[in-house]
Every structure is written in structure tokens, then in C-alpha cells.
Structure 1
């Protein structure tokens, strides 16, 4: 049998073509699968990045709202400020505001919680830098004076009209009272406070005096800050030892040099 050389060459090429086709059929789906996977990974990564940006922007917006609302509530009172006012101050729509906070009371609650958290951080910092508990108490007193200068009295009156928030603040006040009792005990151990004082009664009286201060007409006759100072300094003098009294008098002298006038 005579074999046609051209046929042999063509058959060889044909076999090679078939083998290459088989190879492509086996490899191409894998390559497509790999490319699809890379493509979806890119999409997923982009979506995660965008989601992260959205979450970050939402947190930033939330903080901006709390800051603006706190400033408005404390400077003008709570009742006089509307959600519209806050949205306008921030340059956002009311709908956007309500997407973050469902109502005014929930926003007020977060404002109070943020203020409490900031105060806790400040207290911890002061505690670490102070030599005794009276220095801590006086530093917190001075900080509260600064706060009162920036706070409209109506804020304290209005907050009672928001039962959930007011209850939360009362609970926090009870918790703070326990910490204050611990401070008094430490002060006795440090020789700053007298050991013959019933500090539970003192603590209760100070709290009640503050409530009276906010709910009577005494501030129509005397400046609020002056009355508050008199209450605090009188009580601290009454519970202090000679050592504590010296710390207090040194503080008062320095405090009055830098006192913020009404």
C-alpha cells in the first residue's frame, strides 16, 4: 500500500489540532473559572471597602449629630430645640437625622451618655495625676463650674420632661454616690477627711441641696455659681481635717484668681 505523504502530514497536523483542542477544552473552563473568581473577589473587595466607608461615614455623622445636639440642648434648653433645628444646623435632611436617631429623646439619651463617658475619662485622668482624693473632688468641682457656665438652667428643668432619660440620670447619680462614698473613705485614710463624720448623710444633703438650688427662686437673688460654690466649700470645710482644710484653702485662693465671672 502506497501512503500519500501529503495525507500523512495532514493527519499529523490534524492529530495535533485535535490534541490542542482537547487541551483547550480541559483548560479553558478552569481558566474561565479562575477569572470569574478573580472578578467576584474584586467585586466583593470593592463592596467591603464601600461598606466600610459607609459605616465610617455613618459613625462620623452620628458623632456630629450628638455634638451639635448637645451644644444646642445645653445652651438653649431641650424643649426649645426641635429635630428640624438640629438637621438645619448640620446641613442635613430631617430624614437623614431620623435614620440615625428615631426621636428626640433617644438623641438626648445619647448626648447624656456621651457627656458621662467624657466625664469618666476626665475623672480617671485627674485621679492618676492627683495626690489625694480632695484634689480630685476639687478638680471635678472646677470642671462642673465650667459646665454650668455653658449650660442654660432650662436644660436641667427640661430634662425632667423626658422620663427615660431622667430615670437613667437618677440611676447614674445613685451609682456615682457609691463612688463618692468610696472617695470619702479613702480621704479619711489619707488624713484629709474627719473620721467622725457620717458621709452617707453628707452625700445625701449635698445632692438635696443641688436639687433645691435648681428648683427654687434663690438664684433670682444670687448668682447660681456663687450659691453652688458656697454649698460645696461649706460642706468640704465641715468634713475636712486641718490637712484637708489647707488643701481646700490653697485651692480656693488659686480658683478665685482665675474665676470666671457670670
Structure 2
């Protein structure tokens, strides 16, 4: 197996372990054992656990953006994109332990990477908001920078709460992402969002 393919295989395996067990419980020994690989080979690819964790987070972020790009259609409205993102994240979150997010805070390079992702998303969100206003789906004359800041400020507290009292993915998204977006949506936008919730609950028997 070529080094690039081997590296990707290691990342995919480590992601599953980190997501299922949290970060603290997953050692480099455990990753190597899961791969039936020597620790020496693993350390030739990744200098330490934090290096591997950074690679896993980066790969997950890229995979998300690639999937959203592939699924996009010219006729999409911002609500279409939001609902597609909700659906993807709900499916993704079902396989992730709440401990994963809280325990990544112990790794400065991972924290820095998350911050970099948030900065990238800030610009995307501002553009997204203005597009939603033009489409008649978001309320005009709000400050998208503050809307985004309010959202990212809320998330650490919600994740900390979820670690102590685990929330089902749908409840988590409904009470965070969904409520926040609904707050600056127009009546037309709220109707589309509410229809999604009704349909999702019916399809998943919630």
C-alpha cells in the first residue's frame, strides 16, 4: 500500500475509534492494534496522537465540504442548503460520543484547527446570510457577524452540557442550529424549516 493510501487508511480507522470512544481512551497502541500495524510504522506516519487527531479532524472537515459541494444544485436556496447540512450532520453525529468534542479541548493544535475552520465558516456565513435576504428567506438589516458570533459562543456550553447529560442528535440540532436559524428567518423561511422538522420526525418515528 502506498504511503498516501496507508495514511488515509490510518486516519479512517482512527476517526472511528475517536468518535466511538472519545479521545482520551484511544491510545496510539490501540490504533496500531486495530490496524494490525506496528507502532513503529504508525509513528513514521504520525509523530504523536495529537498529530493523528489533527489529521482526523482535517479529513472530516474536508469530507463534509466535499459532500456538500457534490450535492449542491444550481436551483438550491439557502434553506435547501441548511436542511441538507442538517440531514448530513444528524447522520454523522449518531456515531460520535459527546466525549470526543470535550476531550479535543486538551489538544492545542486541534483547538487551533477548529478555530481556523470557524474563521473560514464566518466568511461563508456572511455571504450565505446576504443571499438568504435576497431570496426572501432571512430577515434584512441584521448583523451576520453577530449572528455567527452568537452561534459559535453558544456551542461549547451546549456540548459541555451534552457530555454530562447526553442529548440525542436530533434534540441537539433542534435546540441549537435549528432554533438559531429559525430566529432570523422570515415567515417563508420558517415554514420551510418547520416542514423539515415535521417530515424528519415522521420518517424517523420521533
Would you say same fold, with TM above 0.5? yes
Distance 1:221 1:178, change over 3 A: same
* Aligned counterpart for 1:91 among listed residues 15, 19, 36: 36
* Aligned position for 2:195: 250
Q: CA deviation at 1:233?
A: 2.6
Q: CA deviation at 1:223?
A: 4.5
* Aligned position for 1:43: none
Report if aligned partners of 2:11, 2:52 keep a CA contact under 8 Å in 1: yes
- Structure 2 residue 69 is the aligned partner of structure 1 residue 128: no
1:133-152 matches, within 5 Å, as 133-152=78-97
* Aligned position for 1:10: none
Q: CA deviation at 1:72?
A: 0.3
Q: CA deviation at 1:230?
A: 2.0
Distance 1:225 1:252, change over 3 A: closer
* Aligned counterpart for 2:24 among listed residues 79, 89, 97: 79
Gap regions ≥5 residues in structure 2: none
Between structure 1 and structure 2, the one with the greater Rg is 1
CA RMSD of aligned residues (A): 2.1
* Aligned position for 1:169: 114
Q: CA deviation at 1:115?
A: 0.7
Q: CA deviation at 1:242?
A: 2.3
Q: CA deviation at 1:260?
A: 7.7
**How does the TM-score come out when normalised to structure 1?**
0.72
* Aligned position for 1:183: 128
Report if aligned partners of 1:76, 1:152 keep a CA contact under 8 Å in 2: yes
- Structure 2 residue 141 is the aligned partner of structure 1 residue 203: no
Q: How many residues align?
A: 206
Distance 1:89 1:150, change over 3 A: same
The 1-side partners of 2:125 and 2:84 are apart by 14
Report if aligned partners of 1:77, 1:155 keep a CA contact under 8 Å in 2: yes
- Structure 2 residue 156 is the aligned partner of structure 1 residue 156: no
The 1-side partners of 2:175 and 2:8 are apart by 36
- For CA contacts below 8 A with separation 6 or more, give which structure has more relative contact order: 2
The 2-side partners of 1:87 and 1:218 are apart by 27
Distance 1:208 1:168, change over 3 A: same
* Aligned position for 1:13: none
The 1-side partners of 2:28 and 2:39 are apart by 7
Of 211-220 and 70-79, the range deviating more from structure 2: 211-220
* Aligned counterpart for 1:215 among listed residues 143, 160, 168: 160
The 2-side partners of 1:260 and 1:168 are apart by 37
The 2-side partners of 1:60 and 1:247 are apart by 42
**How does the TM-score come out when normalised to structure 2?**
0.90
Q: CA deviation at 1:247?
A: 1.5
